[in-house]
Amino acid sequence: MPLAFESLSHGTVAFGFFNIESDMLLLDRCFFFADDFCDLVVAMAESGQAPTVHLPAYVFDDPCDIGDLMGAIHGMRYTGFIGAVYRRFPFPEKPSGFRQNPEGWRTRAVMAELIAGRARRAALRIAVSPEPAEVAFGDYRFDRTGFQALLDYVWRGGYPRWRDGVRPACVLEMTAAARASSGILFKGLSLY
């Protein structure tokens, strides 16, 4: 379930997983896969500088094309991309089944097929500014605290957390690199 996070550029924005059977993340109108996000964080952490890299993403120009998450979760309104995802991967009937699947990467081809034609492909420019410590995902800017909150969300498996406490390899690699980094964005980071 996406949660609200504070950005420097857009105020409060939604970020997170939106279906437990997928490892796709959303950031407001931008959608990308968790392994691409984690690889990006590894590159940022290992560079020790302020690299500019790109994150493969899908961007919705019209928010109506995204769909109604709560309507889809409750099985009442299957509109847009999110409706198509929930038709394919419905919300679990039992609350105990509501856990983020650490093998969500297995649905990547299906998710790419469902989003194709609904959103435009984009390479989000990721830029790090050391002073003040900020990172930009396209037009979305976060300070160090905000960025670390995004990392913590992915580490935890968002809400509802990773199924059986098992994290995907990409998340473990991201965490190891982030913990070892001397980069300004990673200063004071605690992912435990």
Q: What is the mean pLDDT of the chain?
A: 94
Residue 72 lies in a domain: yes
User: Is a pLDDT exceeding 60 seen at residue 66?
Assistant: yes
Q: How sure is the predictor about 174, in pLDDT bands with cuts at 50, 70 and 90?
A: very high
Q: Which two tokens stand for residue 153?
A: 């969300």
Reported residue count of the chain is 192
Residue among 25, 28, 15, 17 at smallest CA distance from 139: 28
- Phi/psi for 141 (5° steps) reads -110, 140
pLDDT of residue 48: 66
| 66 domain-assigned | yes
In the chain, the number of structural domains is 1
Per-residue tokens: 36: 């691409």
Q: How confident is the model at residue 134 (pLDDT cuts 50, 70, 90)?
A: very high
Measured between alpha carbons, how far is 90 from 99 in angstroms, rounded to an integer? 13
Print the domain residue range for 60.
3-186
Nearest to 150 by CA among 122, 115, 126: 126
Q: Report if residue 97 sits inside a domain.
A: yes
Q: What is the tens place of the pLDDT at every residue in 12-62?
A: 999 999 999 999 999 999 999 999 999 999 999 998 665 678 999 999 999
Q: Which residues contact 120 (CB under 8 A, 6 or more apart)?
A: 58, 59, 61
Q: Is residue 57 part of a domain?
A: yes
* Helix (H) / strand (E) containing 91: none
Q: Is residue 191 part of a domain?
A: no
Is 23 domain-assigned? yes
Examine residue 76 and state whether it is found in any structural domain, yes or no: yes
Nearest to 29 by CA among 11, 14, 39: 14
- The per-residue b/e assignment along 23-61, b for 16 or more CB within 10 angstroms, e otherwise, is bbbbbbbbbbbbbbbbbbbbebbeeeebeeeebebbbbe
- d(CA 96, CA 161) in angstroms, rounded, equals 12
| CA distances, 92 to each of 29, 89, 96, 99 (Å) | 25, 9, 8, 9
